[in-house]
Amino acid sequence: AQSVTQLDSQVPVFEEAPVELRCNYSSSVSVYLFWYVQYPNQGLQLLLKYLSGSTLVESINGFEAEFNKSQTSFHLRKPSVHISDTAEYFCAVSDIDSGGYQKVTFGTGTKLQVIP
Amino acid sequence: ETGVTQTPRHLVMGMTNKKSLKCEQHLGHNAMYWYKQSAKKPLELMFVYNFKEQTENNSVPSRFSPECPNSSHLFLHLHTLQPEDSALYLCASSQDPGQLNYGYTFGSGTRLTVV
């Protein structure tokens, strides 16, 4: 069975400071990893994903995440945050279930609060 | 607009009412999902439909009844709900249920309040 752990439920950070949102996963097979972002009163949006190849993946708005297989982690980072980054961030892991269908497990989310 | 449209955006209903939530996608996706998002709780998968067939029901109470008439539409019929059912209900779709690399596309959700 797969699982996702997001250790921090809330992360306050000052504007223009760096931030890291932590995600650890467990799975018995090879997995694909995702970060989703949820802005207030909206659904979740795919931010970035790791499928294979380079372990460092980037999004269009300056976030990046690094897949670390030995530490089973997929932490999300941004070198300088903006007020508009205030949102909840969900880490997710995906694999194929016994029926041959995609199964996605989400973490409990981390609320990023950017302070002016 | 993500390509997955949910209506209504907000719904207030009494415990004896019957209402339905609607989800629509024209992305050509073959899998659709209902999730429940409650305050301070993890995202809860409720139902999964792959190629219009229900493939997962996560022990959801019978007062929630899903319907998937075709690959583009998904409904959640509600009746005799409880106050603890108040939550944000999210619909999502994915391109191919047998592929891992696409991720999900979510709608904006229906904020349900049961009074």
DSSP state of B59: S
CB contacts of A32 in chain B (<8 Å) are 100-101
CB contacts of A94 in chain B (<8 Å) are 100, 103
pLDDT digits (tens, 9 = 90+) for A45-86: 999 999 888 889 999 889 999 999 899 999 999 999 999 999
CB atoms within 10 A of CB B77: 13
Distance CA B53, CA B102 (A): 20
Distance from CA of B55 to the nearest CA of A (A): 9
Task: Please check the confidence at residue B37 and state whether its pLDDT lies above 90.
Answer: yes
Longest dimension (CA), chain A: 48
For residue B88, the number of C-alpha atoms closer than 13 Å in the C-beta half-sphere is 20
pLDDT digits (tens, 9 = 90+) for B41-82: 888 999 999 888 888 777 899 999 999 999 899 999 999 999
